Structure 1
Amino acid sequence: MTTAASWLSELNSYYTPTSTQFDGARAHRASIESRLDRDLGVGEMFEIGSLRHGTGVYNYSDADYLVSLKGFRPDSSLTMLNKVKESLQGRFFSTTIGVRRPAVVCQFADGVVEVVPAYASSGTGYWIADPTGGWMLTHPKDHNTWVNSVNNKHDGAAKRLARQLKVWKYRRNVPVSSCYLEMRAAKHMDGESSYHSTWDLHAVLKKLQDNSLAAMNDPTGLGSRFTAYSSEASRTDALSKLSTAVNRASKARDYASAGDHANAIAQLKLLFDR
Structure 2
Amino acid sequence: MTTARQWLEELNTLYTPSPVQFDGARSHKTAIESRLDYYIGVREMFEIGSLRHGTGIWQHSDADYLVSLEGIRPGSPWTMFSKVKEQLQERFTGTTIVVRRPAVVCKFSDGDVEVVPGYAAPSGYWIANPADGWMLTHPKDHNRYVTDVNTKHGGAVKKLARQVKVWKYRRNVPVSSCYLEMRTAKHMDGESSYSPLWDLYLTLKKMRDANLAAMNDPTGLGSRFSSCSSESNRLDAMSKFDTAVIRALKAKDFANDGYESLAIEQLKLLFNR
Partner of 1:85: 85
The offset of 1:223, in angstroms, is: 0.2
The offset of 1:240, in angstroms, is: 0.6
Normalised to the residue count of structure 1, the TM-score between the two structures is 0.99
The offset of 1:133, in angstroms, is: 1.1
Mapped to 1, the partners of 2:78 and 2:168 lie a distance apart of 26
Q: Residue deviations 1:126-168, cap 9 Å, x none?
A: 0000011110000000000011100000001111110011000
The offset of 1:255, in angstroms, is: 0.3
Partner of 1:237: 236
Partner of 2:16: 16
Partner of 1:70: 70
Local SS of the residue matching 2:172: coil
The reply on whether 1:181 has 2:180 as its aligned counterpart is yes
The reply on whether 1:260 has 2:265 as its aligned counterpart is no
The offset of 1:259, in angstroms, is: 0.8
The offset of 1:81, in angstroms, is: 1.0
Alignment of 1:208-227 (within 5 A): 208-227=207-226
Partner of 1:98: 98
The offset of 1:79, in angstroms, is: 1.0
The reply on whether 1:168 has 2:167 as its aligned counterpart is yes
Partner of 1:151: 150
Partner of 2:33: 33
Q: Residue deviations 1:14-53, cap 9 Å, x none?
A: 1000011101100100000000011110000000000000
Mapped to 1, the partners of 2:164 and 2:143 lie a distance apart of 18
Matching residue's letter, 1:244: T
Mapped to 2, the partners of 1:216 and 1:160 lie a distance apart of 21
The offset of 1:205, in angstroms, is: 0.5
Mapped to 1, the partners of 2:19 and 2:176 lie a distance apart of 24
Mapped to 1, the partners of 2:263 and 2:66 lie a distance apart of 40
The offset of 1:78, in angstroms, is: 1.2
Local SS of the residue matching 2:223: coil
Local SS of the residue matching 1:175: coil
Q: Residue deviations 1:159-194, cap 9 Å, x none?
A: 111001100000100000000000000000000011
Mapped to 2, the partners of 1:163 and 1:178 lie a distance apart of 10
Mapped to 1, the partners of 2:134 and 2:97 lie a distance apart of 22
Mapped to 2, the partners of 1:82 and 1:162 lie a distance apart of 33
Partner of 2:271: 272
Mapped to 2, the partners of 1:105 and 1:82 lie a distance apart of 12
Structure 1 residue ranges without an equivalent (≥5): none
Local SS of the residue matching 2:65: strand
Mapped to 1, the partners of 2:240 and 2:94 lie a distance apart of 37
Matching residue's letter, 1:227: S
Mapped to 1, the partners of 2:105 and 2:232 lie a distance apart of 22
RMSD between superposed Cα atoms in Å:
0.5
Mapped to 2, the partners of 1:185 and 1:14 lie a distance apart of 20
Local SS of the residue matching 1:133: coil
Aligned residues: 273
Partner of 1:43: 43
Mapped to 2, the partners of 1:78 and 1:251 lie a distance apart of 45
Mapped to 2, the partners of 1:79 and 1:239 lie a distance apart of 33
Matching residue's letter, 1:79: T
Local SS of the residue matching 1:117: strand
The offset of 1:124, in angstroms, is: 1.1
* Large movers: runs of 4+ above 6 Å: none
Matching residue's letter, 2:208: Q
Q: Residue deviations 1:200-251, cap 9 Å, x none?
A: 0000100011000000100000000000000011001100111110110010
